[in-house]
Amino acid sequence: MRELTYEDSQSKQNPMKEYMESLRNQDDIFSGDEYLLPSDLLKIYGKYEIACEEYHSARCSGLVCKEDLEDIGNELKTAYKEYRTAMKDAVSQYQSVTVNTTAESDIHKENDQEEERSYRFHR
């Protein structure tokens, strides 16, 4: 059985880890697999996706008047802004935790190496 390391426990605590690892373009935070988003972000994404489908359906049907189509378009814009803001916040938090975790991990590694050196010295 594999021993749980400090890094493993930290990565399991961050719900964005799997999504961030799925990014096809590291410079585009929206290029990951949406089904890997944490549940709160997945709900926000779902609202955006529904608004997007509703707008395109209404636009393509030709049965919706111009004013109603504008209202549906505004709902789509609002849903997208909410999704975009939530994603940016989540990624920012993920990156700050990752930086801190990496720094803590480096400290742990340095301490382990220091201990190892001191053990060798005392032998």
Integer Cα distance of 77 and 102 in angstroms: 37
Instruction: Tell me the per-residue pLDDT of 81-92, one tens digit each, with 9 for 90 and over.
Output: 999 999 999 999
Q: What is the pLDDT of residue 58?
A: 96
**Does the structure show a pLDDT above 90 at 107?**
no
Integer Cα distance of 36 and 102 in angstroms: 23
Q: Both ends of the chain: CA-CA distance in Å?
A: 31
Q: For residue 80, with 0-12 CB atoms within 10 Å meaning exposed, 13-18 middle and 19 or more buried, which class applies?
A: middle
Instruction: Tell me the per-residue pLDDT of 8-63, one tens digit each, with 9 for 90 and over.
Output: 544 457 899 999 999 999 999 999 999 999 999 999 999 999 999 999 999 999 99
Q: What average pLDDT does the segment 67-82 reach?
A: 97
